[in-house]
């Protein structure tokens, strides 16, 4: 069959009508599933799945609605499998814990979302896993921190809020050199529509589905996509090549091959840690996915116009948007992004912190909260919210300043967005 385009996959991938011939995807609000026989139940708990036999055990592990969402996202991102989680934070946590144990480390870009920073440098540290922050997101700087216990490279694509675009091909070459996976947070890549890191050598993609994938600010969710392109049996990852204590000596790499990472996410981490997504939330995500490309096209178009407008405004400076030719990542964005330069920009308000706060509090149409990727336009003051727990030094390294505002563009008419900004500017 001819390879389908993104716009077709976002509507059809992962779903075939059941015996009811329902055109719409059903919600399965159930906790558990009956077994056909004792043997059937035993097979499932041994991870022995047979063609034509129900694979479902318990919704903490798998659910038919969740499975459709997972298959659709794997298709959109170009992976072999996906695992849905309760949030983007849960997706990051599971991806790391699925590879590492106490004593291991990974090298990360410094351009991180505040919640990711805390997960890496506070919570994971308590578990004995070390995150090593490189000077920047280049392969040259990341390589300086790699040693024998390094188990992954980690970066954000269109980082939050610096909007860095990594040189994926160089990072992929580095990960291959040291036989460790490249993990990419592709939340700002809009579910694969703007960028598919796996096509450029990434091995694992994590995303907050709460953002553009769902797109309506009504459900929490995360997704992990397994690229199926990493050799987990290379000797560096005993969780895959050695017998599993939790499955009677099963070796994940031997049994599941290029789907081993996704399977272990479910069988070990969702089973034991429990950050599963609700089938209701998966269903909401699927409604959002069906219009993903249309929303992102419109948002990118409006964001580009807003960036140019703000760049010329007398009360702003340091407008950051990948579509502006003076942006330091503009050329990498042209190389790796498709269909636009993203739906978020940042700008700084002249007059410092106090005027910045007054400006935000004077907005009437634009919503002040900590989210992005919504149909509504959203303004966020990162230094006092999303990156508040970081030190001033860490904030500066991430590109966060007291007078910086992050602006996620929604689907409102551009003139109405400009009018709201202008009336707030006039008050300062």
Q: How far apart are CA 18 and CA 288, in angstroms?
A: 22
Per the structure block, which two tokens stand in for 421?
A: 């900004």
Report phi then psi at 64, rounded to 5: -60, -40
pLDDT given at position 226: 98
Q: Which helix (H) or strand (E) holds 357?
A: helix 353-362
Q: What is the pLDDT of residue 248?
A: 87
In contact, 253 and 232? CB cutoff 8 Å: yes
Q: What pLDDT score does 63 carry?
A: 98
Residue bearing tokens 């009437």:
364
Q: How far is residue 19 from each of residues 16, 22, 23, 26, 387, measured CA to CA in Å?
A: 10, 8, 11, 12, 49
Write down the residue that tokens 């990498």 correspond to: 332
pLDDT of 386 reads 73
> Would you state the pLDDT for residue 340?
98
Per-residue pLDDT, 385: 78
Residue with tokens 């030190």: 391
Long-range contacts of 100-105 (CB under 8 A, 24+ apart): 100/129, 100/151, 100/152, 101/128, 101/129, 101/239, 102/127, 102/128, 102/129, 103/128, 103/149, 104/129, 104/130, 104/149, 104/150, 104/151, 105/129, 105/130, 105/131, 105/132, 105/147, 105/149, 105/150, 105/151
* Cβ contact 400:161 at 8 Å: yes
Which CATH architecture describes the domain 15-288? 3-Layer(aba) Sandwich (3.40)
Contacts of 7 (CB under 8 A, 6+ apart): 293
The pLDDT value recorded for residue 384 is 82
Residues of the chain with pLDDT under 70: 1
User: What pLDDT is attached to residue 382?
Assistant: 86
The token pair at 223 is 């997704």
Region for residue 178 given its phi and psi (left: phi exceeds 0; alpha: psi -120 to 50; beta: otherwise): alpha
- β 404-408/378-380 pair status: antiparallel
How confident is the model at residue 77, as a pLDDT?
Answer: 98
Parse the chain into domains and list their residue ranges: 15-288, 292-426
Q: What are phi and psi of 415, to 5 degrees?
A: -65, -35
Per-residue model confidence as pLDDT tens digits over 288-301? 999 999 999 999 99
Question: Which positions ≥6 away from 379 have C-beta within 8 Å?
Answer: 360, 363, 366, 367, 368, 405, 406, 407, 408
Within this chain, domains 15-288 and 292-426 share the same CATH topology: no
What is the three-class DSSP state of 208?
strand
Assigned fold of 292-426? 3.90.1150
What's the pLDDT score for residue 276? 98
78 touches 69 (CB < 8 A):
no
């Amino acid at each position: 069959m001819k390879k389908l385009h993104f716009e077709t996959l976002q509507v059809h991938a992962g779903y075939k009508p059941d015996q009811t011939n329902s055109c719409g995807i059903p919600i399965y609000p159930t906790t558990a599933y009956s077994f056909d026989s004792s043997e059937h139940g035993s097979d499932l708990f041994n991870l022995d799945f047979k063609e034509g036999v129900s694979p479902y055990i318990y919704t903490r592990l798998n659910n038919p609605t969740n499975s459709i969402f997972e298959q659709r996202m794997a298709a959109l991102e170009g992976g072999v499998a996906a695992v849905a989680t309760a949030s983007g934070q849960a997706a990051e946590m599971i991806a790391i814990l699925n590879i590492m144990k106490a004593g291991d480390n990974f090298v990360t870009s410094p351009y991180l979302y505040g919640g990711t920073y805390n997960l890496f440098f506070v919570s994971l540290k308590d578990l004995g896993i070390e995150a090593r922050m490189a000077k920047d997101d280049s392969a040259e700087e990341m390589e300086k921190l790699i040693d024998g216990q390094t188990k992954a490279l980690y970066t954000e694509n269109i980082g939050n809020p610096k909007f860095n675009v990594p040189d994926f091909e160089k990072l992929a070459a580095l990960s291959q050199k040291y036989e460790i996976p490249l993990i990419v947070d592709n939340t700002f890549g809009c579910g694969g529509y703007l960028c598919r890191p796996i096509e450029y050598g990434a091995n694992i993609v994590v995303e907050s589905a709460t953002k553009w994938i769902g797109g309506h600010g009504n459900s929490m969710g995360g997704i992990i996509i397994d690229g199926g392109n990493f050799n987990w049996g290379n000797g560096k990852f005993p969780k895959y090549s050695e017998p599993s204590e939790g499955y009677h000596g099963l070796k994940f790499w031997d049994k599941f091959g290029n789907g081993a990472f996704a399977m272990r996410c479910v069988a070990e981490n969702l089973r034991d840690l429990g950050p599963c997504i609700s089938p209701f939330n998966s269903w909401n995500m699927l409604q959002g996915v069906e219009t993903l490309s249309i929303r992102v096209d419109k948002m990118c178009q409006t964001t580009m116009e807003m960036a140019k407008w703000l760049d010329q405004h007398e009360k702003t400076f340091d407008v950051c948007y990948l579509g502006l030719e003076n942006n330091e990542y503009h050329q990498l964005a042209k190389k790796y992004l498709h269909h636009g330069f993203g739906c978020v920009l940042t700008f700084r308000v002249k007059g410092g912190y106090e005027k910045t706060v007054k400006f935000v509090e004077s907005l009437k149409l634009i919503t002040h909260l900590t989210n992005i990727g919504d149909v509504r336009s959203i303004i966020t003051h990162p230094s006092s919210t999303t990156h508040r727990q970081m030190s001033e030094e860490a904030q500066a390294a991430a590109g966060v300043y007291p007078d910086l505002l992050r602006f996620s563009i929604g689907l409102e008419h551009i003139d109405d967005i400009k009018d709201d900004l202008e009336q707030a500017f006039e008050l300062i």
